[in-house]
Amino acid sequence: MPHITPLALGGCLSALAALAHLACVAIGGPAYRWMGAGEGLARAAEAGRWQPTAITLCIAAVLAVWALYAWAGAGWWTPRSPWPGMKLALPLISAIYLVRGVAFPWLKPHFPDNSNLFWLVSSAICLLIGGLHAWGTVSRWSEL
């Protein structure tokens, strides 16, 4: 089994977040509600509108790519050629997670259907994942 590092763990959490988003697409409205994404999104999914699925699949795809970058940076997964822009991507991914974690007071008014619990839990998760990505990136910087 590969050595578990902060960056590898951050990648695992990014992958879990991607899977959680895919579960919303598979389950539909009840999953959107349970995850706190808002009644509007849940109803749109139940009505068969394409927007919730498209938005959620895009988010899941981004999170999956971020997981792969983290695993590659941690040495868990090495494709035949080096990952493009690894030294730019990993700090940027870390920063996006960390900014999302602290920016919820400014984001919340733009998404009024999302519950307070959603904002608190998702922001804490983003801070955790961003912190792991940042810690892991710094610790592996010379090997990237």
What is the block-wise mean pLDDT of the chain (144 residues), using blocks of 10 residues? Answer: 84 97 95 88 94 96 97 83 87 98 94 88 96 96 86
For 42-68, b/e burial (b = at least 16 CB within 10 A) is: bebbeeeeeebbebbeebbebbbebbb
Report d(CA 23, CA 28) in Å as an integer: 8
pLDDT of amino acid 77: 78
Q: How crowded is the C-beta side of 65, counted as CA atoms within 13 Å?
A: 13
Give how far the C-alpha of residue 27 lies from the chain's centroid of Cα atoms, to the nearest Å: 19
pLDDT of amino acid 83: 80
Report d(CA 32, CA 16) in Å as an integer: 16
Helix (H, G, I), strand (E, B) or coil at 38: coil
Report d(CA 54, CA 3) in Å as an integer: 35
Domain range annotation of the chain: 6-143
pLDDT of amino acid 90: 97
pLDDT of amino acid 128: 98
Report d(CA 81, CA 95) in Å as an integer: 25
pLDDT of amino acid 2: 60
pLDDT of amino acid 117: 87
Distances (CA, A) of 135 to 49, 86, 87, 94, 116: 40, 15, 14, 9, 28
pLDDT of amino acid 15: 98
